[in-house]
Amino acid sequence: MAKEVLGVLCSGRGTDLQSIIDAIADGKLDAEIAVVLTDKPDVMALERARKAGIRNVCVNRKEYEDRESFERVLVAELEASGVTLVILAGFMRILSPYFVHAYSGRIMNIHPALLPSFGGAHAHRDVLAYGVKISGCTVHFVDEGMDSGPIILQATVPVLDDDTEETLGARVLEQEHIIYPKAIQLYVEGRLKVEGRHVRILEQ
């Protein structure tokens, strides 16, 4: 019996989801994914879940009048599936305090930049426009702010002179696929101790 039951929320392609599916299959991550939820229909993430035999549900945001009614359905789905840890994997919506409280301290997100720099929905574009030489990705716990919760792991990549959003994005994504399963496994092992803004990684 796996120790943690994951619910993964996605909006699109789902390569971060895939890295988690693969890490579980390879025995590197001791968890199970009970459900994959998306806010849009016909996205690759649903297909990836289907292929892996994971329950998958589209909760189409467009069918809900407001964020609260949409999120109530998400939370109900997660609870019905016995989810203990919520994983945001390319989920392009900001969660309300209602959702964050429902899974307080038990929501992780990955952001494709080195937070607290370049938060928001266009990280690679903003990184390139600013001219920084190093970028990367950040796994963090989710709090009520945007991209503002305590940082668990980060990885860096160089930003090259001829980078486009696509080439930089691909380089960052390679690192995402390494550190997201790692961060979840640390959680599973009970090795993440949150002290205010700091996440201490306990020795095994």
Alpha helices, DSSP H, located in the chain: 15-25, 44-51, 67-80, 97-102, 123-130, 165-188
- Tokens 């929905």 identify what position? 121
CA dihedral in degrees (189, 45, 150, 168; nearest 10)? Answer: 120
Structure tokens at 7: 């619910």
Distance CA 46, CA 57 (A): 8
DSSP H helices, 43-164, are 44-51, 67-80, 97-102, 123-130
- Which stretch in 15-23, 32-40, 63-71, 126-134 sits in contact with ligand GAR by CB under 6 A? 15-23
Q: Is 111 a catalytic residue?
A: yes
Options 9, 23, 90, 171; binder of ligand GAR; rule CB under 6 A = 90
**Which stretch in 6-14, 20-28, 56-64, 186-194 sits in contact with ligand GAR by CB under 6 A?**
6-14
Residue 192, interface with ligand GAR (CB under 6 A)? no
Residues 114-133 that bind ligand GAR (CB under 6 A): none
The stretch near ligand GAR (CB under 6 A) out of 14-22, 46-54, 96-104, 185-193 is 14-22
Q: Does 14 bind ligand GAR (CB under 6 A)?
A: yes
Among 173, 179, 184, 186, binds ligand GAR (CB under 6 A): 173
Q: Which residues bind ligand GAR (CB under 6 A)?
A: 10, 12-17, 89-90, 110-112, 173, 176
